[in-house]
């Protein structure tokens, strides 16, 4: 990815900065560029070493950086091998930083700034990196690679809004805004209108279309999202970008054969792209062939260690195989790559929950919830954790939050709306019962009953009815109790229990009003 | 004989593709059967078809020379199923098959299809119970049945496939069924009409591409252009998996090693086309190339290929198979006449095999060395010659029995019999050994040893002078046992039959017989040479008898120039050469030749019958020179040995020579008595030349006897009458051989007899015939 984005940067540079190479350095620059193009980075760097013109100087440092990256990749171990970790580092970084600092002190150059940002980011110096990158894009906004790096720094919606103030008012900035919001699952009217506006300018842009589809995906509007991806695929069959997200959508929609088709298309285009491997891995996962799917995710990671979705999906597969420790490591690596993936956080939480380390789990659920504040799933998981940790008050709060999340999502999505609702309601009611607040409990149980006309009789409603019947019976409100028990019996749910209760209440009624 | 070494060749562990579109179609057919869609009358043809494709590599189902079918073409499936009614009225099995094939409307459907195949297998846990099938239920396969194993293999191979390969299979499958699209459409249109329209029939290859035009970029990207599809359809029909290619190669190796033939050219070409189209070549291919080069007599090529093969397989077979490489090399070298080199290689083989404790290889190498020693004693170093005595054979026998190598044991018995025969030992022993071998062949089902045994048996009968039985043996083998016999035995038997026919004097028939031999059998250089030698020999004999000496000389030169490997042929040719000298009256040269020949045979411990024949030829030569008495002791010795070794035709010849000597000594009555008594047996030999010689001697004896009783006219007339009678018979025998000179001589004798008997008219007639014959009309 780095290589590609850098070469686009260079071509842009070629177009605009022709005069930026002095005549005596022209030959050297050409030679170095040729070496660079055939991936002989060290050689390229040596050729233009000491050049002063900005183009050659950039190439010198950039080639050095790439050489370091290459060596780093070569030194790192097999994916998830015993020695695999983030220990290996690009050893050229300190030298490059030093040189850059001296050069930037003399003269500010947009590409050197970009490189400075990249290097700083690699050294986890995010604040300075942010400044450098902002300066770089302000000077020359058409370097998308710089925007890409900038994107990794913005870790929350607040970051984005702050950044928008620092950034220049430019067309590309809007693109950046769309991307950043999308990655943060931050969907609102403003982002939508931005996408619409941009689409008016670039009606054929597949990138914009896929952003729109991803936004819809975050809103759980899978059908619409699928439609858009279909269009993209038909108009540009050789495009692989974001296909892994498309495969996730199909996975969630349970469309296995369509997923197979997408995998086929991807595989026909390029077998060795991480996107392709992810799609195929998803397909095998759906066929419950988890070993194979792990193989493909691993391949994706071998191709690009920073490929986020592969790490997360690999974690999911390990969970399926009950290899919790491997799953935890995979999720952790996903988070290390990109801290914005709520699925990885959530997965970590789940894994720790399986290991009954609830406090840990809670922390990760909270992180996930922070990323998806309106996702009831996160809140429900969090509540379950509280429940297990015997903190009913917090659990009730979380469940309530989950409910509210649901109601907001219910309009667009029928997936887990009511069903989860009833379950949550019963959980809340039972928790209230536990803290001896029967009135609240009754309230929530009654709420649960209200869902009956929509859902029909189901287990949760039966539980609620049975609970209520017992409650009413204890309060000697026998008429209501009998009615509920009878309803329960007629629906054929909890037959034994309800029959016994009907008989019991009948007896009591007889005793109270002897004939 | 090489097959033992070859049967040890391990399969290359190439992880190639197993599944082909054709195999998928076959699986679809099997599922139809399982779902009870095939009514009882059609089950047998369908299952036969299926099995033919599954167990083709066992080789048993297929006649000699026809390759196993690798490609399961839709045409073949259509031909099989289009006329068979299915269990659903109005639909043929073919319709159902098409439905099955077109139901696979996406890659995922294909995946499902293959994965679901497991459900057609009986659960091993339930297998204990007797399974009673109820109506409409699937009939399941047990896991270890042929089809069950096929299904399991297919699913396994599918799950082993990387995704990209699986999609390639899917694309191949689409191309494969593409030609049936019109049929499927037609069939389903009618279905639509009859049921009142079920909506548009889905005809596109992939349901996700439905509605897109055929030249849509996405369609093109996935399945190529429409024209390409047609082209690919043809290609997909020829699509073979690595497994299939290996099967083909194994079949070739089997053909070449077990039967010793080369594969027909047409098949070679088609195989080459298949191999060329693939990136990865199975290593076995080099072995096939080696065998091919070897059989066609390409010395350098075969060496190159053999080394190539062993180099490529080194990593998979280790040094443990070094001895097999050496074995092959030794045999190869021997075949190209580098005898000493070959012996050295074989010794190395023996040593390596000993080191590695590979008994099978060791035994085979020893047996080969033994035979080689027999065939080329002059090339064997002393060490080996000493080792190769009788003991080695019995050792071999015991070892073969111990390690259960029945084929080798049977061969050892035959060798024993052969040795007994050549060394003039007990005939009973020889018979016993042959019987043992025969018993082994029958009880252990060793099909390819039957030939050698029967040919040997036939040669025993020839030695006993029972010509008819000898012929019968060869004929029996050629008509009843030819199927699994090595080509070597076939050619030998045919040559022997021709030779026996030629002995009767029916040269043309013999040559015809040789001409009619299957050209396939002569594809191997060695056998071609063998066959050509026999043809030349028969022609040479014919020309000798006919007195066409120039042609005979020409033929002889050809035979001498060819390095014929068979010792028996060498002796035969040399004897003919001596005959030619005699006919040309180069008696001293003939004598020299015979003397050296006798010495050679003595040195090499050659076949006793050849040695006796040389001795008798010498005696005959002396008789020709008018010094018959000088040959007396030789003749007597030959007769004694022939009697002991029960070499009856030679014994008879010895008697004839002896009688001739007696005639020279004016012991006419004794000579007559000697021959007359054994005349019936002599006639049984059906050897025209022998008959001629004997009758001629009898004539001389009678005439001599008549000369002794000149005073008793009646007795003399009686003798003369007998002589005349025999002259006529003898004339016929020589007539068979076309020996005009001998016939003229007979007429001369006849004329003289008539002269003595004062039958002038008859005398003149005979004299005229004599002159005519001499003129050559």
**What is the mean predicted confidence (pLDDT) over A313-329?**
90
Q: Which residues of B touch A271 (CB under 8 A)?
A: 164
Query: B240 pLDDT exceeds 80?
Result: no
Asked if B208 lies within 8 A of A289 by C-beta distance, the reply is: no
Comparing A12-16, B78-82, B452-456, B470-474, the range with the smallest average pLDDT is A12-16
Residue A462 located in a structural domain:
yes
Establish if B160 touches chain A: CB-CB under 8 angstroms: no
- Contact residues for B465 (Cβ-Cβ < 8 A; gap 6+): B648, B649, B652, B681, B684, B685
Q: Which among B107, B218, B220 has the least Cβ separation from residue A260?
A: B107
**A510 belongs to a structural domain:** yes
User: Which pLDDT tens digit goes with each residue over B26-38?
Assistant: 888 888 888 877 8
Classify the C-alpha dihedral B197-B198-B199-B203 as positive or negative.
negative
Share of chain B above pLDDT 70, in %: 81
Give the pLDDT of residue B324: 78
The per-residue DSSP string of B355-392 comes to: HHT-HHHHHHHHHHHHHHHHH-GGGS-HHHHHHTSHHH
Check CB contact under 8 Å for B163 and A296: yes
B157: pLDDT strictly greater than 70: yes
- Say what the pLDDT of residue B295 is: 75
Contact A425, A445 (CB under 8 A): yes
Distance from CA of A182 to the nearest CA of B (A): 28
* Distance of alpha carbon B141 from alpha carbon B149, whole angstroms: 9
pLDDT at A402: 81
Report chain B's mean pLDDT, rounded to a whole number.
78
> C-alpha distances in angstroms, A11 versus A7, A33, B76, B418?
6, 11, 59, 88
| Cβ–Cβ < 8 Å for B377, B605 | yes
Task: Establish if A374 belongs to a structural domain.
Answer: no
Q: pLDDT tens digit string along A86-142? A: 556 778 888 888 888 888 888 888 888 999 999 988 888 888 899 999 999 888 889
Cβ-nearest to A257 among B109, B216, B217:
B109
Q: Does B207 touch chain A (CB under 8 A)?
A: yes
Say if B208 is an interface residue toward chain A (CB within 8 Å): yes
Q: Do residues A339 and A308 touch, judged by C-beta distance below 8 A?
A: no
Tally the C-alpha atoms within 13 A of residue B192's C-alpha that lie toward its C-beta.
12
Please state the separation of Cα B540 from the chain's center in Å. Answer: 26
Out of A264, A289, A296, closest to residue B107 by CB: A264
Q: Which residues, 6 or more positions from B29, have their beta carbon under 8 angstroms from its beta carbon?
A: B46, B49, B50, B77, B81, B97
Which residue on chain A is closest to B224 by alpha carbon?
A268
Q: Which of B163, B166, B222 to mutate to test the interface with A (most CBs of A within 10 A)?
A: B163
Give the Å distances, CA to CA, from B253 to B9, B13, B257, B293. 10, 17, 6, 13
Q: Name the least confident of A27-41, A88-102, A450-464, B477-491.
A: A450-464
Select from A123, A153, A183 the last residue of a domain: A153
User: Is position A490 within any domain?
Assistant: yes
Q: Which residues of B733-760 are buried (b: 16+ CB within 10 A; e: fewer)?
A: bbbbbbbbebbbbbbbbbbebbebbebe
Distance CA B667, CA A217 (A): 126
Q: Please indicate whether, in this complex, the C-beta atoms of A261 and B167 are within 8 angstroms of each other.
A: no
CA distance B248 to B69: 9
Q: What is the pLDDT of residues B325-338, one digit of tens each?
A: 788 888 888 877 77
Residues A33-83: pLDDT tens digits? 999 999 999 999 998 888 888 888 899 999 999 999 888 888 777 676 655
Q: How far apart are CA B662 and CA B704, in angstroms?
A: 11
> Å from B107 to nearest chain A CA?
6
Token pair, residue B617, equals 């030829």
pLDDT tens profile A146-160? 998 888 888 888 888
Contact B180, B101 (CB under 8 A): yes
Q: Which of A366-370, A392-396, B262-266, B678-682 has the lowest mean pLDDT?
A: B262-266
The helix (run of H) or strand (run of E) holding residue B584 is none
- Kindly list the residues from chain B whose CB atom is less than 8 angstroms away from the CB atom of residue A272: none
Q: Which run of H or E residues covers position B246? A: helix B242-254
What pLDDT does residue B202 have?
Answer: 42
Instruction: Provide the number of structural domains found in chain A.
Output: 2
Confidence at residue B311, expressed as pLDDT on a 0 to 100 scale:
77
Q: B591: which 2 tokens?
A: 């004598």
Q: Please tell me whether residue B446 adopts helix, strand or coil conformation.
A: coil
* Test the B interface: residue of A227, A240, A267, A294 with most B CBs within 10 Å: A267
- B159 in contact with chain A, both atoms CB, cutoff 8 A: yes
**Are B164 and A283 inside 8 Å of each other by CB?**
no
Residue A129 covered by a domain: yes
Of B106, B159, B221, the CB nearest to A257: B106
For residue B13, the model assigns a pLDDT of 30
* Phi, psi at B157, each rounded to 5°: -65, -35
Question: Does residue A91 form part of some domain?
Answer: yes
Three-state secondary structure of B513-559: HHHCCCHHHHHCHHHHHHHHHHHHHHHHHHHHHHCCHHHHHHHHHHH
The reported pLDDT for the residue numbered B419 is 82
The ipTM assigned to this model is 0.73
Residue A500 lies in a domain: yes
pLDDT at B565: 62
The whole-angstrom separation of Cα A223 and Cα A212 is 13
Confidence at residue A409, expressed as pLDDT on a 0 to 100 scale: 42
CA distance B207 to chain A (A): 9
Interface test with B, best of A239, A246, A257 (most B CBs within 10 A): A257
- Which residue has 């996405």 as its token pair? B218
Cα separation, B275 vs B215, in Å, equals 33
What confidence tier does A229 reach under pLDDT thresholds 50, 70, 90?
very high
| E strand spans, B3-78 | none
What count of residues does chain A have?
Answer: 515
H runs (alpha helix) in B423-522: 427-444, 450-464, 467-480, 487-503, 507-515
Chain centroid offset of residue B765 CA: 53
CA dist., res. A153 & res. B208, Å (int):
40
Domains of chain B in start order, with CATH, are 21-237 (no CATH), 585-665 (no CATH), 668-777 (1.25.40.10)
End-to-end CA distance of chain B: 51
Question: Token pair of A152, please?
Answer: 């990794």
Give the CATH number of the domain where residue A50 resides.
1.25.40.10
Domain membership of residue A130 as a residue range: 1-153
pLDDT score, position B203: 46
Distance from the Cα of residue A248 to its chain's centroid: 11
Confidence band of B224 (pLDDT split at 50, 70, 90): low
Per-residue confidence band for B192, with pLDDT thresholds at 50, 70 and 90: very low
With contacts defined as CB-CB under 8 Å, which chain B residues touch A243? none
Last residue of a domain, one of A136, A153, A170: A153
CA distances from A335 to A155, A343, B96 (A): 12, 10, 53
Residue A6: the pLDDT is 42
Q: Determine whether B520 is exposed, middle or buried from the number of CB atoms within 10 Å of its CB (0-12, 13-18, 19+).
A: middle
A105: in domain: yes
Q: What is the DSSP letter of B199?
A: S
Segment among A44-58, B559-573, B694-708 with least mean pLDDT:
B559-573
- Are A432 and A444 spatial neighbours (Cβ–Cβ below 8 Å)? yes
Distance CA A230, CA A245 (A): 13
Q: Vertex B694, ends B691 and B698: CA angle to 5°?
A: 130
Which residues of chain B have a CB within 8 Å of the CB of A265? Answer: 218, 221-222
The pLDDT of residue A413 is: 39
Given A237, A257, A284, which is nearest B221 (Cβ)?
A237
**How far, in Å, CA of A235 to CA of A189, rounded?**
28
Instruction: Give the E-state strand segments of B302-357 in sequence order.
Output: none
Q: CB of B167 within 8 Å of any CB in chain A? A: yes
Best mutation target, A240, A260, A297, to test chain B (most B CBs within 10 A) = A260
- Give the C-alpha separation, B311 to B325, whole Å: 10
> Rounded to a whole number, what is the distance in Å from the CA of B518 to chain A's nearest CA?
52
The 10 Å Cβ neighbour count of residue B218 is 18
CB atoms B163 and A287 under 8 Å: no
Give the whole-angstrom CA distance, residue A488 versus residue A495. 8
Q: Among all chains, which residue has been given the structure tokens 């149980």?
A: A445
With CA atoms as reference, report the closest residue to B50 among B67, B35, B28.
B28
Residue B62 has pLDDT above 70, yes or no: no
Contact (Cβ atoms closer than 8 angstroms) between residue B434 and residue B390: no
- The verdict on a CB contact (< 8 Å) between B222 and A264 is yes
Q: Which of A153, A178, A200 is the last residue of a domain?
A: A153
Q: What is the DSSP letter of A78?
A: S
What is the CB-side half-sphere exposure of residue A108 using CA atoms within 13 A? 11
Q: Is the pLDDT of residue B10 over 60?
A: no
Say yes or no for a CB contact (<8 Å) between B167 and A258.
no
Segment among A234-238, A366-370, B72-76 with least mean pLDDT: B72-76
């Amino acid at each position: 990815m780095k290589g590609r984005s850098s070469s686009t940067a260079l071509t842009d540079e070629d177009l605009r900065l022709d005069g930026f190479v002095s005549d005596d350095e022209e030959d050297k620059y050409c030679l170095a560029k040729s070496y660079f193009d055939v991936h002989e980075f060290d050689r390229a760097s040596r050729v233009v070493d000491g050049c002063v013109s900005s183009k050659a100087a950039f190439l010198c440092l950039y080639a050095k950086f790439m050489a370091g990256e290459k060596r780093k990749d070569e030194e790192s171990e097999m994916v998830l091998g015993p020695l695999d970790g983030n220990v290996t580092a690009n050893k050229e970084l300190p030298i490059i930083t030093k040189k850059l600092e001296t050069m930037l002190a003399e003269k500010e150059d947009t590409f050197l700034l970009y490189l400075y940002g990249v290097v700083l980011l690699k050294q986890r110096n995010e604040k300075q990196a942010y400044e450098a990158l902002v300066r770089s894009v302000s000077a020359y906004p058409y370097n998308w690679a710089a925007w890409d790096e900038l994107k990794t720094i913005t870790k929350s919606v607040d970051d984005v809004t702050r950044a928008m103030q620092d950034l220049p008012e430019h067309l590309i900035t809007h693109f950046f805004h769309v991307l950043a919001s999308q990655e943060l699952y931050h969907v609102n009217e403003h982002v939508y209108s931005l996408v619409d506006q941009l689409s008016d300018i670039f009606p054929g842009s597949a990138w914009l279309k896929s952003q729109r589809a991803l936004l819809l995906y975050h809103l759980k509007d899978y059908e619409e999202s699928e439609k858009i991806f279909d269009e993209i695929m038909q108009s540009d069959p050789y495009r692989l970008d974001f296909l892994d997200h498309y495969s996730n959508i199909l996975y969630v929609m349970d469309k296995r054969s369509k997923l197979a088709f997408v995998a086929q298309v991807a595989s026909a285009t390029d077998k060795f792209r991480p996107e392709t491997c992810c799609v195929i891995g998803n397909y095998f996962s759906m066929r419950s062939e988890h070993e194979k799917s792990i193989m493909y995710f691993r391949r994706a990671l071998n191709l690009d260690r920073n490929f986020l979705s592969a790490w997360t999906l690999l974690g999911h597969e390990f969970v399926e195989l009950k290899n919790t420790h491997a799953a935890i490591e995979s999720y952790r690596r996903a988070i290390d790559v990109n801290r914005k993936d709520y699925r990885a956080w959530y997965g970590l939480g789940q894994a720790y929950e399986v290991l009954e380390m609830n406090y840990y789990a809670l922390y990760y659920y909270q992180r996930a919830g922070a990323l998806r504040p309106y996702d009831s799933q996160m809140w429900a998981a969090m509540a379950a954790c509280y429940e297990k940790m015997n903190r009913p008050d917090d659990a009730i709060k979380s469940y309530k939050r989950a409910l509210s999340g649901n109601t907001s999502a219910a309009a667009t999505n029928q997936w887990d709306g009511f069903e989860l609702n009833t379950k949550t309601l019963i959980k809340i009611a039972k928790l209230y019962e536990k803290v001896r607040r029967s009135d609240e409990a009754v309230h929530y149980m009654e709420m649960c009953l209200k869902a009956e006309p929509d859902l029909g009789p189901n287990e949760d409603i039966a539980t609620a009815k049975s609970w209520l019947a017992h409650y009413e019976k204890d309060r000697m409100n026998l008429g209501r109790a009998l009615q509920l028990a009878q309803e329960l019996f007629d629906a054929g749910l909890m037959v034994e229990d309800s029959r016994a209760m009907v008989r019991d209440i009948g007896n009591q009624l007889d005793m109270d009003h002897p004939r | 004989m090489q097959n033992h070494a070859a049967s040890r060749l391990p399969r290359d562990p190439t992880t190639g593709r197993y599944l082909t579109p054709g195999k998928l179609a076959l699986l679809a057919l099997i599922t139809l059967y399982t779902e009870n869609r095939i009514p009882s009358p059609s089950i047998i043809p369908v299952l036969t078809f299926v099995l033919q494709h599954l167990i083709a590599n066992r080789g048993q189902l297929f006649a000699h020379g026809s390759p196993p079918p690798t490609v399961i073409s839709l045409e073949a499936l259509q031909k099989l199923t289009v006329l068979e009614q299915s269990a659903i009225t109005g639909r043929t099995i073919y319709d159902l098959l098409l439905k099955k094939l077109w139901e696979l409307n996406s890659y995922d459907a294909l995946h499902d299809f293959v994965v679901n195949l497991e459900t057609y297998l009986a659960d091993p846990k339930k297998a204990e119970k007797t399974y009673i099938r109820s109506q409409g239920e699937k009939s399941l396969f047990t896991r270890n049945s042929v089809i069950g194993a096929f299904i399991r293999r297919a699913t396994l191979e599918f799950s082993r496939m990387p995704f990209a390969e699986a999609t390639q299979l899917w694309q191949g499958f689409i191309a494969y069924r593409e030609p049936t699209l019109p049929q499927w459409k037609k069939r389903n249109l009618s279905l639509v009409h009859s049921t009142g329209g079920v909506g548009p029939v889905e005809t596109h290859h992939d349901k996700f591409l439905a509605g897109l035009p055929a030249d849509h970029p996405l369609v093109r990207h996935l399945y190529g252009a429409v024209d390409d599809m047609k082209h690919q359809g043809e290609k997909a029909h020829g699509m073979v998996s690595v497994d299939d290619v290996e099967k083909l190669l194994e079949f070739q190796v089997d053909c070449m090693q077990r039967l010793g033939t080369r594969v027909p050219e047409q098949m070679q070409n088609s195989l080459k086309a298949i191999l060329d189209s693939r990136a990865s070549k199975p290593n076995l291919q080099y072995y096939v190339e080696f065998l091919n080069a070897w059989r066609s007599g390409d010395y350098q090529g075969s060496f190159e290929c053999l080394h190539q093969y062993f180099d490529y397989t080194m990593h998979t077979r280790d040094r443990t198979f070094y001895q097999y490489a050496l074995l092959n090399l030794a045999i190869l070298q021997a075949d190209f006449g580098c005898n000493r080199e070959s012996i050295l290689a074989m010794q190395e083989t023996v040593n390596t095999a000993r080191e590695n404790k590979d008994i099978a290889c060791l035994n085979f190498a020893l047996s080969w060395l033994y035979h080689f020693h027999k065939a080329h004693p002059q090339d064997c170093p002393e060490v080996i010659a000493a080792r190769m005595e009788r003991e080695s054979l019995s050792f071999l026998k015991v070892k073969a029995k111990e390690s259960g190598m029945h084929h080798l044991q049977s061969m050892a018995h035959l060798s024993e019999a052969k040795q007994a025969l050549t060394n003039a030992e007990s005939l009973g022993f020889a018979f016993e050994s042959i019987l043992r071998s025969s018993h082994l062949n029958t009880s252990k089902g060793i099909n390819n040893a039957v030939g050698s045994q029967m040919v040997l048996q036939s040669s025993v009968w020839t030695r006993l002078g029972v010509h008819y039985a000898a012929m019968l043996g060869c004929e029996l083998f050629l008509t009843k046992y030819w199927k699994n016999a090595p080509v070597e035995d076939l050619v030998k038997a045919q040559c022997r039959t021709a030779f026996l026919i030629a002995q009767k004097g029916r040269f043309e028939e013999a040559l015809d017989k040789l001409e009619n031999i299957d050209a396939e059998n002569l594809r191997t250089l060695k056998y071609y040479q063998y066959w050509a030698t026999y043809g030349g020999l028969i022609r040479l004999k014919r020309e000798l008898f006919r007195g066409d000496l120039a042609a005979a000389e020409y033929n002889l030169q050809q035979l001498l120039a060819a390095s014929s490997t068979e010792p028996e042929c060498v002796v035969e040719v040399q004897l003919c050469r001596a005959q030619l000298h005699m006919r040309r009256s180069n008696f001293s040269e003939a004598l020299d030749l015979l003397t050296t020949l006798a010495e050679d045979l003595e040195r090499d411990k050659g076949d006793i019958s050849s040695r006796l024949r040389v001795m008798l030829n010498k005696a005959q030569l002396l008789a020709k020179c008018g010094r018959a008495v000088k040959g007396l002791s030789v003749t007597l010795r030959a007769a004694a040995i022939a009697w002991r070794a029960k070499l009856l035709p030679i014994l008879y010849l010895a008697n004839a020579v002896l009688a001739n000597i007696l005639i020279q000594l004016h012991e006419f009555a004794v000579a007559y008595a000697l021959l007359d008594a054994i005349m019936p047996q002599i006639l049984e030999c059906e050897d025209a030349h022998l008959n001629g010689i004997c009758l001629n001697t009898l004539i001389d004896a009678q005439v001599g006897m008549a000369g002794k009783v000149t005073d008793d006219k009646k007795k003399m007339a009686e003798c003369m009458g007998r002589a005349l009678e025999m002259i006529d018979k003898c004339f016929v025998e020589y007539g068979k051989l076309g020996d005009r000179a001998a016939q003229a001589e007979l007429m001369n004798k006849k004329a003289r007899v008539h002269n003595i008997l004062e039958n002038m008219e008859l005398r003149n007639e005979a004299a005229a015939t004599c002159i005519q014959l001499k003129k050559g009309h």
